[in-house]
Structure 1
Amino acid sequence: MILSDSAPPVLHLAPRHFTTRLALLFSGPLLVNGFAMPFFPIWLATLHMSDPEIALILAVPMFLRVFTAPLAGVLADRMGERTRLLHVSAVLSLLTALALFVSDSFWFILVVYTLQGGVYSPYVPIVEAIALSGVRRWGFDYARMRLWGSIVFIVATMIGGELISLVGGSMVLPAMALSFAVMIGITFLAPKVGPPRRPSTLTSLAAPQPKALRRRDVQTLILGVGLVNGSHGMLFAFSALYWSKIGFTGTEIGLLWSAGVLAEIAMFVVAKPLLLRMSLWVMILSGAALAVGRWLLFPLDLGFGGYLALQTMHAFTYALMHTGLQNQLVRQVPEEQEAGAQGLYFFYTGLSTAVCTFISGYAYAWYGASGFYAMSAVAALGVSLIVAAWTMQRGPAMTRRAA
């Protein structure tokens, strides 16, 4: 849960229908992702690309976003009115989606999809920044705005699953292009909130790290959680291909993806009462440890019901751990360094996900679903770093009590 801070009062009123307009802005990219995340790898497979080639096409844009998103954050903050860059990002994203119709060669798709990753990367962070401006200045409910994007993602995934069953992978590019066109239209509804009062999360990556973020315990904690997040890379890249291979229909694949998102939403809904009953370290470590088990179970012959249950673990392996980390950072990092902490989290998670996605191409090509054991090892490394961070923070606390 995100609450407004104690920023100085503003004289102007909030833009009209701010919450509704932000809900639509969040829905645009999640409409795209609802088609692209589960089914773009299936389209690549219809072009007879190898698993390492698919992984490379998916991973390279992730690497690029880690470095282009901070630059875009700097540019957006300096432009004053961030909605200008929002329009540019949406239009260029559509152009790259249309360019994918030109050729089905590996190198062409790699270059164009990488460009798409670069021009698409500023969109969500800018929308997040506008939403948080509304939270800080006028007290709007962030969760209410963000929730509708998740609902749109589920609807798009279910529609995509039906279309995959009916027409196959050929539906992916038209669905993506149409979604980007819708996204362009939505950008004209973006409320103008003026220049930011503090640097954005991504802008902070381009600045030297403040003292609190140089502490070994904080760095180790964020890196550990970033690795656990990154271990989901193989799920994002190859789960739909694997489920299709073992006979699941497009509708069933859509249901499996939707189950993970619904579980995530449910966890965020109950997060506030959980924070009153659970230690933050228990939240972080239990989510990370369950990720290890999730990837160990994935290669087993679980059937549709088993995989449905496994997908609901996303509530723990991402949402619970993420909630615990964010609240731990609130305790460990001063408010004026909040953007820097979030920027560091974005960097470690993005880089880990890109590396794991690249590795997963070879793991899946060589070992099939058993390649998820490699993701379990990555998550286990993340758990060990989280435990190390807990030990580092516990040591000084015990020293102070003894004194």
Structure 2
Amino acid sequence: MVSTQAAFSRANLVMLSLTFFLYFGQLGVLVPYLGVFLDGRGFSSEEIGELFALITLMRIIGPNLFASFADRTGKSLRILQFGAFLTFATFCSIFWLNSFWGLTLAFGLMMLFFTAIAPQTEVITLSSVRGDATKYSHVRLWGSVGFIVLTVLAGKLIDVFSSEAPIYISGAVLLSLFLITLGLKEASTSENDQASGQSIWGKVRNNVFIVFILSSICIQISFGPYYSFFALYARDLNYSGQETGGLIALGVAAEVIIFLLAGKLISRFGIKWTLLISMLLTALRWYLLAIAAQYWPTLVISQLLHAFSFGLIHAASINFIHHFFGGQFRSQGQALYTSIGFGIGGAAGNYGAGLIWQQGQGAEFAFTLATGFALLSAVLVASIPSRLMSK
């Protein structure tokens, strides 16, 4: 461990910002364009959905495995560095694999280790800003900037070269990510964060957390068609790779702006109302894609709503987890949110979207179902009394 002063320093916050930049930059390459890459390798939409679902399941196993060890040992930074190295090492195998099961294994192992990065980065960042939602948002927004930059770059390189471009970009980004993590600092564990003999299961069985996590699952299921097929959807609507990248970047640009305001919005309206309004706007977003995606203004409005459907929902959820679980179980709390919400919800959404999509013929139905799941997520949050969700 290093001194508290070093961990709280501006230099460390800059390094954390770079970590978010590269981590979400990597997602900006793979999330929109993995479907394009796999389509270029000759996979059907059903196979793409299955592969997405299988590798997403790693987000259930990985976060809890690494977080449990991090909370027991207090070595969040070492877990982060370990995950970053093995993510790069396993990703390199993709350059030599072509079969469905070979690529599934490679992406699955990569995702297993990749899941060690985000929860630990969140924990270290929240500790470094002393739980301040505004300061956290200012660091976290660089992840959105990274997503924009890498999404636009990948879209352009796909147009210039081929659908293989995303894996070359990813290799360079993952290597850079590992090197950046070597310069991070971690605050010493305070006495208040030491184990008190309590069990995390008391928190997990709390009705507030159960309803919150069910809502998180539903909202992630609703993202299935978007995450798996938006780039292909845009291509079917005669948008180029660069234009698709621009649309995705527009959404994340709106996300950057909302991150600058997130701390104030959460403080003003509270976690419950921040989540509820954002989920209702997410339902509107998917409904617009279901009924009017052929019109470019619809796509622009839909992407602007990404500020709420990802940015504000994420900021409010992270804030809730940080305060609900406290210092003792902070890594495991973040891991549960990632693995159950993003893992189970994401896998179900991706798998279902793959079954429904049918080379684009089921696009309207897929986004209509997504609308329903976003509304269900909002209903669940609405059932939680505001006083039980601290600001």
**C-alpha RMSD of matched pairs (Å):** 3.3
* Counterpart secondary structure, 2:164: helix
Match of 1:158 in 2: 152
Say whether the 8 Å CA contact 2:281–2:305 is kept in structure 1. yes
Say whether the 8 Å CA contact 1:43–1:172 is kept in structure 2. yes
Aligned-pair distance for 1:188? Answer: 2.1
Aligned-pair distance for 1:55? Answer: 1.3
Identify the match of residue 205 of structure 2 among 200, 211, 214.
Answer: 214
Note the 1:15-164 alignment, pairs <5 A.
15=7, 17-136=11-130, 141-164=135-158
TM-score (normalised: structure 2): 0.85
Task: Write the letter of the residue equivalent to 1:376.
Answer: T
Match of 1:364 in 2: 357
Say whether the 8 Å CA contact 1:263–1:315 is kept in structure 2. yes
Task: Give the distance between the partners of 2:84 and 2:321, measured in 1 at CA.
Answer: 32
1:309-342 CA distance string (max 9 Å, x none): 11111122233344555666788x4746773654
- Structure 1, unaligned runs of 5 or more: 1-9, 395-403
Match of 2:377 in 1: 382
TM-score (normalised: structure 1): 0.83
Identify the match of residue 285 of structure 1 among 276, 287, 305.
Answer: 276
Match of 1:236 in 2: 227
Match of 2:289 in 1: 298
Residue 319, structure 1, aligned to residue 314, structure 2: no
Match of 1:4 in 2: none
Task: Give the distance between the partners of 1:119 and 1:341, measured in 2 at CA.
Answer: 18
Task: Give the distance between the partners of 1:130 and 1:151, measured in 2 at CA.
Answer: 20
Say whether the 8 Å CA contact 1:52–1:362 is kept in structure 2. yes
Report the CA distance shift for 1:358/1:377 in structure 2 as closer, same or farther (over 3 A). same
Task: Give the distance between the partners of 2:333 and 2:80, measured in 1 at CA.
Answer: 24
* Counterpart secondary structure, 2:95: coil
1:289-314 CA distance string (max 9 Å, x none): 22222222213244333201111111
More divergent stretch after superposition (365-374 vs 33-42): 365-374
Task: Write the letter of the residue equivalent to 2:352.
Answer: I
* Counterpart secondary structure, 1:298: helix
1:110-151 CA distance string (max 9 Å, x none): 111111111111012222222223223999932332222221
Task: Write the letter of the residue equivalent to 1:268.
Answer: F
Task: Give the distance between the partners of 2:13 and 2:134, measured in 1 at CA.
Answer: 7
Match of 2:185 in 1: 191
Identical pairs, percent: 25
More divergent stretch after superposition (237-246 vs 285-294): 285-294
Note the 1:169-208 alignment, pairs <5 A.
169-194=163-188, 208=200
Say whether the 8 Å CA contact 1:82–1:194 is kept in structure 2. no
Task: Write the letter of the residue equivalent to 1:239.
Answer: F
- Structure 2, unaligned runs of 5 or more: none
1:129-176 CA distance string (max 9 Å, x none): 222232239999323322222212211111111111111212111111
1:315-373 CA distance string (max 9 Å, x none): 22233344555666788x47467736545433431211111111110111274321211
Say whether the 8 Å CA contact 1:231–1:375 is kept in structure 2. yes
Report the CA distance shift for 1:139/1:241 in structure 2 as closer, same or farther (over 3 A). closer
* Counterpart secondary structure, 2:163: helix
Task: Give the distance between the partners of 1:90 and 1:335, measured in 2 at CA.
Answer: 26
Identify the match of residue 257 of structure 2 among 261, 266, 289.
Answer: 266
Say whether the 8 Å CA contact 2:271–2:320 is kept in structure 1. yes
